[in-house]
Structure 1
Amino acid sequence: RDLHNRGGERFIYNLRAEPATPEFELHGKYYYAQLAPGTRMIWFVNLSRQNGFTGPVELKVEGLPEGVTATPVTIPSGLTRAAVILSAKTGAKIDARLVRLYGKAVYSDATGKPRDLVRYAHVTCELQVSGGSQARRPINTQIVGVTNPLDIVEFEATPSKITLRPGEKVEIKVRVKRNKEFTGPIQLAMPFLYGNSIIADQLPPGVTMSSDSKARLTGKTVEGTIVLEAATGDSAPKPLERFPIAVMGRISMSFSISTNYASNPIHLTILGADSKAAR
């Protein structure tokens, strides 16, 4: 059987051997995005570095509907994850397109000549099965759609630029505008959670969401607070400049199904413990 536990007479594979060169793969469990005009959604991307590759990887999404854009993001050296933040303009028309996420990088070959690397993401699709469990299967494309207005009309976070040093905390204020007919709970988070388990994360290692956060908006509540904290010592985060992140908002339809939203991009800068640079 293969890595996806599939096999049989119809599963014929071609084995190819070639010299190892710097390489990378992109992985994720995202496979769709539904965006009402003026709203955003977030995809979590994991980067697998192979054969000594340590360079930055620029993330792109091809084939987006008109009026939908992806916030520019590059996974720098030393990191292996990031968020792709999709935004629909206020005037975006209802539409749906099959899209593909890919990464671009450059490495030097044995002669020192620069070589381009372009790799499409390996994405899995979640299939709901009886009992509330999920099965996952690999897919080649993702779908992005612009829809009619949803439960959240606006989702804003301030400030749009934050700076952390090891041992520090920083607050992000969140305010949502609800559809007038929606009063259900909204769960704010930075990682993608399934219950209490982190399925995917956008924050760099050493930065976490604090338990001091006010992350559940119930009834008619429209304001919350996300508190990020940076570890110290050996667990301290490495310096980073203007790395885009976003607050995630989830509205649960059932235990395992939810509608996901994202705030405006927030650019995170991490300074060394001894840095005296101003915020």
Structure 2
Amino acid sequence: MQERTNEVPLAQFAATRHVGQYSWPPYSYDPSTATPEAEPNDPTSAQKIELPCQISGSFYPAADIDCFEFQAAKGQQWWIEVASHRLGVPTGPAGVVQRAVQNETGTIWQDVIALKDIASPMKVSTNFYAYDGPPYNGGSNDLLSMLEIPEDGLYRLQMNDLFGGTQDNPTHVYQLLLRPASFDFALTGWVKHIELLNGDRSALSKPLALRPGATLAMEIGAFRRDGFQEPIRLEVTGLPSGVTAATIDIPAGQTSGTVLFTADAQAPKGHSFISIVGTAEIGGQPIKRTCQIASMAWPIRDHWQEFPRPRLSQVVPLSVTNGETATISIQSTAESTDALHYKAETNSQVTIPLKIDRRCDFSGTVLGLSTLGNGFHGNPRFEIPLQENQAEVKLDLAKLNVAPGIYTIAFFGAAVAKYRDYPIAVTRAEEARQKATNRVEQLKQQVASGIAQAPIEQDLKEAEADLTTAENELKVAIARSQPQDIADIVVTRPFTLEVVKAEEKK
């Protein structure tokens, strides 16, 4: 729920936008300037166009093929983008650019480039639950490719819908853009998923719901338009009290980063709508783009029985509960008010001491951890003891070949915890029972004094009924809070490491 004044328009919640739509439209796109396609524009009568241009058309009727002819000069570079699937229609655009070549028989059309689908910023899970990638596909059936003109002459773009052989639907529209490079980017994200249990076929949204002492990792994917390569800096605003965010920014040429949210051990109960923004330099100016978050439209317990429905969310809610705490908290012991926790040389090995705070029992004696951090993904998986209060991690900067710079680093893994579900409910139920007991005792004393009136006797009956209800609710709360095995994702509190050349260390 959000409170709005009459002057503020209501946000339109993107409940039906699939994840791949985060990359559309371009921020400079104006649909009112698009030229409608002119039928007939099939291979025998292509529509003449001049570059750059924007065209609105449709894959209609069934098996429709649209062709556009244009003149171009050698060495020119044009970016071709097609949006149809990202407009929310079930299409699979395909396109090829051909060049007119003369031979002894006349004009033939020679293929220059086949347009490529838009790839997801991260490898997608093959089955939505086993973690060989996230369950969200940020890619699209739509097209984006760069055309470099090999020779002066006449060219044509031929497009069709791979799914349109039998689909006779005029709503299967598309937007075609042919332009010089127009650098830009778009961001999407989701809470990090890892495989927890063998045979688990659920597809569940992992909300930004923090328990005190916990850290959650959110993966951020970047769509880079027209070959944009600059680094993207991430920033979070609007956090509730007691919550901090550390960012692993998106390096130049890369398509993924991470935001790490941590709730202090004493963080109060809270809730807010946060904003995740990426900033990059384009044309000498800082350009900001807001990240759109992906989630499941509804939870799927068994992917074999129901197909998951990922979607984009309009807002990003983050909450902190006071009903339970994290099963375990792990953080470096170099606590300081300084932003830099550690400093090491490029050819050295740095030791990171860890403090382990367990709040329940665990199955097993060790916790396997992998590394998050630009330049540190190649760090071998390692184990720390679950029964100890301290551990050490060694990072071999020479083997990792880490360049000088400042890095945000965290470790993550999974453990089977003896989890108590909402234990504060037991305390509240005990308080409710004690209150009901006191009320019954008070009324009984009044009845025993001989001055009881009929209304008091009725009140006693109601109080005794309330006591019975309170005792039953306490039994339910106690049963619910009994330790149960759960597979819990564990993310350590992030720290920073400054890597310097040996001669620069003071």
* TM-score clears 0.5: yes
Find out whether 1:123 has 2:283 as its counterpart. Answer: no
Which secondary structure state, in structure 2, belongs to the residue aligned with residue 243 of structure 1? strand
What is the letter of the counterpart of residue 226 of structure 1? V
| CA separation of 1:12 and 1:59: change in aligned 2, threshold 3 A | farther
Shift of 1:46: 3.8
Matches within 5 A, 1:130-149: 130=303, 135=308, 137-140=310-313, 141-147=315-321, 148-149=323-324
Matches within 5 A, 1:6-155: 14-15=174-175, 17=177, 19=179, 20-30=181-191, 31-71=206-246, 74-77=249-252, 80-108=255-283, 114=285, 116-121=287-292, 123-125=294-296, 127-130=300-303, 135=308, 137-140=310-313, 141-147=315-321, 148-152=323-327, 154-155=329-330
Which secondary structure state, in structure 2, belongs to the residue aligned with residue 276 of structure 1? helix
- Deviations 1:85-115 (CA, angstroms, capped at 9, x unpaired): 212244432234454433122311xxxx626
CA distance in 1, matches of 2:250, 2:278: 9
Q: TM-score, normalised by structure 2?
A: 0.41
| CA separation of 1:187 and 1:33: change in aligned 2, threshold 3 A | farther
- Deviations 1:189-212 (CA, angstroms, capped at 9, x unpaired): 234xxxxxxxxxx3324652235x
CA distance in 1, matches of 2:173, 2:403: 41
| CA separation of 1:122 and 1:89: change in aligned 2, threshold 3 A | closer
CA distance in 2, matches of 1:13, 1:228: 53
- 1:236 corresponds to which residue? 401
- 2:378 corresponds to which residue? 208
| CA separation of 1:224 and 1:78: change in aligned 2, threshold 3 A | farther
- Deviations 1:18-47 (CA, angstroms, capped at 9, x unpaired): 643112233444252332234332223344
- 2:342 corresponds to which residue? 161
| CA separation of 1:91 and 1:22: change in aligned 2, threshold 3 A | same
Shift of 1:146: 0.8
Q: Please provide the CA RMSD for this pair.
A: 4.0
Shift of 1:127: 4.5
| CA separation of 1:134 and 1:154: change in aligned 2, threshold 3 A | farther
Matches within 5 A, 1:247-258: 247-252=411-416, 258=487
Identity %: 18
CA distance in 1, matches of 2:380, 2:305: 29
- Deviations 1:112-163 (CA, angstroms, capped at 9, x unpaired): x626241424535485425699957132244422123334354222443243
- 1:222 corresponds to which residue? 389
Structure number, greater radius of gyration: 2
Q: Which has the higher strand share?
A: 1
CA distance in 1, matches of 2:357, 2:411: 15
- 2:356 corresponds to which residue? 176
| CA separation of 1:127 and 1:278: change in aligned 2, threshold 3 A | farther
Q: TM-score, normalised by structure 1?
A: 0.68
Highest RCO, 1 vs 2 (Cα 8 Å, sep ≥ 6): 1
CA distance in 2, matches of 1:136, 1:63: 28
- Deviations 1:33-88 (CA, angstroms, capped at 9, x unpaired): 33223433222334444434333322123443333231255445465543312122
Q: Which of these residues, 246, 249, 269, is aligned with residue 498 of structure 2?
A: 269
Q: Is the 8 A contact 1:47 1:81 kept in 2?
A: yes
- Deviations 1:163-215 (CA, angstroms, capped at 9, x unpaired): 3525x433322221111x43335634234xxxxxxxxxx3324652235x333
CA distance in 1, matches of 2:326, 2:189: 26
